[in-house]
Chain A
Amino acid sequence: MSTQVIGGTGDTGADLPASQGPVLEVRNLSVDFGVDKKWVPAAIDLNYEVKAGEVLAIVGESGSGKSASSMSLLGLLPSNSRVTGEVLLNGKSVLTMSPARLRQIRGNDVAVIFQEPMTALNPVYTVGFQIVETLRLHNEISPDEAKQRALRLLQMVELPDPDKAFRSYPHQLSGGQRQRAMIAQSLSCDPKLLIADEPTTALDVTVQAEILDLMRNLRTQLNSAIVLITHDMGVVADLADRIAVMRQGRIVETGTAEQIFRNPQHEYTRALLAAVPHLGQGDGKDDVDVTAALAAATHTDLQTVDHDELERREQNVLAQLADAEHEVASHGTPGVAPVLELIDVAIEYPKQGRVPAFRAVEGANLTVYPGQVIGLVGESGSGKTTIGRAAVGLLPVAAGSLKVVGTDVSGFRPSSKELAKVRRHVGMVFQDPSSSLNPRLPIGESIGEPMYLAGEAKGGELQKRIEALLDQVELPRAYRNRYPHELSGGQKQRVGIARALSLKPKLMVADEPTSALDVSVQAKVLELFQNLQRELGFACLFVTHDLAVVDVLADYICVMRRGRIVEQGSRDQILRSPQDPYTQRLLAAVPLPDPEKQRERRELRAKLLTVSD
């Protein structure tokens, strides 16, 4: 019997031997999927092991086989898959077990935390029902006792009101609360091995930081072995002891976290680390020490950093800020008319039937000058996308004035001709390239449609313009006749950018254009975007939740929270001297892809939170 922490254990025979052997040993594991009567490999010859209390991070981009191989450990793959090799859980082979034995292990000895808690929890049952179901399956306990344990679990994962969460359906909880509930369910039987499949990918940064804190605490409390599957190097740096880097089904490199981050051996690991944009890095010229900036702005002292050292770093940051401001001042503010101007703007989602109108943005002031890139940052529900959509005239302005290229659009009806005229100066790139391109149009037509509709070009002239645009976004001209599903995610987003550029807009609104892409693809798309912006000189409102991306692109940053702009300023002002407590918390929550620096950042964040409480 293992030690009981909260949930209690059922006697399943896979108990921990007294010796400190690895909890999980994977030997020559291969996974293939049967596609069109052929075996396509998803994971090839994997070998790794995880000890109790240890976090192994499996890192890789989409299609690297990291998820498929981990799901195969519990036999959770679809029926068209084939798994070979050996998986030992506390010395017992999992792959050769009978289905009944495997069921005893699932949820009890090995539990899984899935990526998207909204879809991973059954929408038609309460959280309580689902946890109790797990508890009663593996333990012979009464419904009352199960309920008590479930409540204790919900308390352990720090849900504010366990009773209420117990009675809630998944859709009644926020994303972070849902993930906590999911974790509570996974921990219900004190698993010896926890598989966390992208546990924070669907969450906002501040929520992500909380979930990571929670997982770190649980690991010390429960002494479970954890396999963490992720593509996010910041998350890895925050949590992992050891790292396995996967690419195209193979583990290309393994090592301790220190080794991988300090001294990566394989070229892919190096490329992967280089592709990760990290906050403060900018476009590579001047690295901002955000931790020191935050420490200075909030007058915080850190244990992990020597006091004098920290002071030196803080002064360095502030000196650079002074330089940057001096430089801006010498340039002077441009004496030209802004392309986008919001004065005290409120934006509402109009009322629909009995659902009252919802005011998503209130009192927003923002000015974008020609050639400027403004990063609009905020978490989900902050109203950042709403501002982006209103700038293109997709949402009506409820109060205040919104000027696009000198024309006040706040009074225009949604389908008016005047608005259509203004829209010609504005291009928009959407978040999900797969769903924002018409699947039944060849991409050449998608790109050419705005020009055709605006009467800018026709026939041969139009074809020439389409080719020129394809060249600009670095896609082969021959791709014009392809359909969106034939393109990769990065290529599709290039098409989206080409379409947005087709009318030579003065203003570009980009709504999370890279959030659906892998890091290495994201890096390339961002680079392309930056080059195009410099070359064509359009102004850009770049909407994103990812501070690191804004940092790479934007001259000016605008932080939003709950429908209001809480702070705005040049990149240097925001990163080197954030004043608003929310901006500070947001910056502190972004994990750094470097274990040592992340340790400092984590301490700082903990201090900030205690102060603000």
Chain B
Amino acid sequence: MVWYIVRRFLQLIPVFLGATLLVYFLVFSLPGDATAAICGERGCTPAVVAGLREQYNLDQPFWIQYLLYLKGVLTFDLGTNFSGRPIATIIAEVFPTTAKLAIMALVIEAVFGIVFGLIAGLRKGRIFDSSVLVLSLIVIAVPIFVLGFLMQFLIGVKLQWTNPTVSGDATITELLLPAVVLGLVSFAYVLRLTRTSIIENVNADYVRTATAKGLSRRRVVVVHVLRNSLIPVVTFLGADLGALMGGAIVTEGIFNVNGVGNTLYRAVLNGDGPMVVSIVTFLILIFCLANLLVDLLYAWLDPRIRYA
């Protein structure tokens, strides 16, 4: 087991190298001069441009630039972005907000998705099941920005239950609405996955055995059916955790959340190469770790899966 975890961490190395190389190459190939973004509309004197080029190694060939960047990462120095702020500081500033938002969204989609899916699966074909299915289909079909603006308008502006936008502090109550919007689509998927899985498992032989032992319906469902049914759901939630941690550009945009998504979006617009590469690399690492977490959870849920 320990070996397995160590191996998984070793696997991060090629993933890290490949991903940074790819992203670095993409940013490098972007058309236009990177210094133009720093200088803005009015432009800089040629001397300043040359200075900037030297500062950000833009005068070097691609491989040298990349290796210099790697060296920086390995010495825990991500460098500065084009506005001169240390990139590490910026990530440390925005990531907690995104993490908070992601975890809230994940909890919301997991709890509601599993509970609703469980009830729908146990009452297959009845009115609750059918209406929940139709609702989830609507949620999946409607684009997220429509849902986002709609809920912002209804709950934030009309009813005024919460602030329509999130302040710099990003408190839990402020994040609740964006978290619901963010979790809504995945909630529909979790619900459907859970429902299918429950329907599959509820007729399994071991469920009949559990009933034949004299267990109450409640215990049969919670102890025997649910744990077996959660295995595919956990896979989905794990992948989703990685995606959520990457920040939601649309949702963060709508609610003005100062998170990773928003920051990345701005960096891309500004052609801020170092910033983009650093954030993407960071996200890749987070994604890999989330995946590892899921695989370990998997083994805990299903003892037939053993890693060596």
Residues of chain A at the chain B interface (Cβ within 8 Å): 71, 74, 76, 78, 103-108, 111-112, 114, 116, 119-124, 133-134, 137-138, 169, 171, 185, 354
Contact = CB atoms under 8 A, between A and B. Distances in A.
A202 to B, nearest CB: 11
B214 A114 contact: no
Nearest to A134: B213
A571 B203 CA distance: 45
A114 B208 contact: yes
A107 B228 contact: no
B216 interface: yes
Given A76-B211, A120-B206, 14 more contacts: A104-B214, A105-B214, A106-B211, A106-B212, A107-B214, A114-B205, A114-B208, A122-B206, A123-B303, A123-B304, A124-B304, A134-B213, A137-B215, A354-B308
A122 B224 contact: yes
Contact of B212 (A112, A169, A354): A112
Contacts of A137: 213-215
A590 B99 CA distance: 64
A107 B213 contact: yes
A137 B214 CA distance: 8
B215 A123 contact: no
In the complex, the 10 A-B pairs of residues with the closest C-beta atoms, listed nearest first: A107-B214, A106-B214, A107-B213, A119-B205, A122-B206, A120-B205, A112-B212, A169-B303, A134-B213, A103-B214
Interface in B281-307: 301-304
Contact of B228 (A108, A124, A354): A124
B302 A124 contact: yes
Contacts of A169: 303-304
Given A120-B206, A124-B227, A171 B304 contact: yes
Nearest to A118: B205
Nearest to A10: B214
Contacts of B215: 103, 107, 133, 137
A78 B210 CA distance: 14
A74 B211 CA distance: 9
Contacts of A112: 209, 212
A114 B209 contact: yes
Contacts of B210: 122
B204 interface: yes
Could you say which of A111, A122, A133 has the most chain B C-beta atoms within 10 Å of its C-beta? A122
A124 B301 contact: yes
A108 B214 contact: yes
Contact of A121 (B203, B206, B216, B301): B206
18 contacts: A103-B216, A104-B214, A107-B212, A107-B214, A108-B214, A112-B212, A114-B205, A116-B205, A120-B206, A122-B206, A122-B210, A123-B302, A123-B303, A133-B213, A137-B215, A169-B303, A169-B304, A171-B304
Contacts of B304: 123-124, 169, 171
Contacts of B211: 76, 106
Nearest to A195: B212
Interface in B179-226: 203-206, 208-216, 224
Contact of A119 (B206, B212, B302, B308): B206
Contacts of A103: 214-216
A123 B214 contact: no
A194 to B, nearest CB: 11
Contacts of A78: 203
A105 B210 CA distance: 13
Given A103-B215, A133-B215, A169-B303, A120 B208 contact: yes
Contacts of A134: 213-214
Nearest to B210: A122
Given A124-B227, A124-B228, A169-B304, A119 B204 contact: yes
A561 B208 CA distance: 35
B3 to A, nearest CB: 11
Nearest to A129: B223
B125 to A, nearest CB: 11
A106 B203 CA distance: 18
B214 A76 contact: no
A17 B213 CA distance: 23
A504 B302 CA distance: 48
A169 B302 CA distance: 10
Nearest to B224: A122
Contacts of A124: 227-228, 301-304
Nearest to B208: A76
Nearest to A119: B205
A124 B231 CA distance: 11
A74 B212 contact: yes
Given A122-B228, A123-B228, A124-B302, A111 B205 contact: no
B208 A106 contact: no
B126 to A, nearest CB: 12
A137 B210 CA distance: 11
Nearest to B207: A122
B131 to A, nearest CB: 21
Contacts of B205: 114, 116, 119-120
A123 to B, nearest CB: 6
Given A78-B203, A169-B303, A169-B304, A122 B213 contact: no
